[in-house]
Structure formats: structure tokens, C-alpha cells
Amino acid sequence: MTAQEALRAIFEVVVAKAEKDHAFAREMIEAISNIPMVEVERPAKAKAKKSKPAEMNPIQILRESGDVALRSELDRQDKASIVMIANIAGITLPTTLKGKKATKEALIQAVIEATKFRLAERAAA
């Protein structure tokens, strides 16, 4: 028998008794209402593993692995990190993407497009 099954069996007995004995039901409600609230520790949420923005070079990733890999790497970042990556790489983002209203997807797309443009410029030079 699992712990959940044991608890279920116990509470079924208590509920059955409370249905038949109203005084018992009142005693149970009174006892429960007098129990002080306790805080339950919740397990910490696992945070998504993010690569460090300073160590990510979008130009190198695009050149070596393509735009799908670059999109995947950028998708692991939050919006602030994507902007930081662009700044470190010397990529100028459109002013419409610098506010809080910019979506993560729009930032990613802008970084990919600007990186492709930078690579095309280097290839033409």
C-alpha cells in the first residue's frame, strides 16, 4: 500500500464517521480551523540553462552552424541577454526593438538578419 492509498483510506473512515455523527463533524471542523497555517516549502524551480551572453558570438555561430543553430542559441536567452549579445557583437538593433514592447521572437529575428548582413558584407569585401 502506498502512502497516498493509506491516507485515502484514513480520510474515507473520517468522512464516513462525520457523515453519521454531526457532533464529530463539528469537532473536526473546529479542530481544523484552530490549526495555524504553516508554510509549505516548495521545491525550487529548475531554471533553464542559458549560455552566457558574453561568450556567445552570433557571427561565429551563423558561419559555422547556420541560422537554425543561431536561432536555437538565441532562444535559450532572455530578452535582455539577446540585446546584450547584439551589443557585444556590434549589431545595431532597430530602435523599435529597444523598448519593453519588443518581443523575444522579433529580437531573435533582428539579430539573425543583422548577422547575415554582416557576414555578407565581410564576404563581399
pLDDT tens series, the chain, 125 aa = 888 888 888 889 988 988 899 898 888 888 877 777 666 677 776 665 555 555 788 989 988 999 899 999 999 998 888 888 988 888 888 888 777 778 999 999 999 999 999 888 888 87
Query: What is the pTM (predicted TM-score) of this model?
Result: 0.56
Helix/strand/coil for 61: helix
pLDDT of residue 107: 92
pLDDT of residue 38: 65
pLDDT of residue 111: 92
Asked if residue 112 lies in contact with residue 67, where contact means CB atoms within 8 angstroms, the answer is yes
Cell 538565441 belongs to residue: 74
**Distance, CA of 109 to CA of 124 (rounded, Å):** 23
pLDDT of residue 72: 92
**Distance, CA of 125 to CA of 108 (rounded, Å):** 26
pLDDT of residue 35: 74
Alpha-carbon distances of 95 from 49, 102, 123, rounded to whole Å: 29, 10, 27
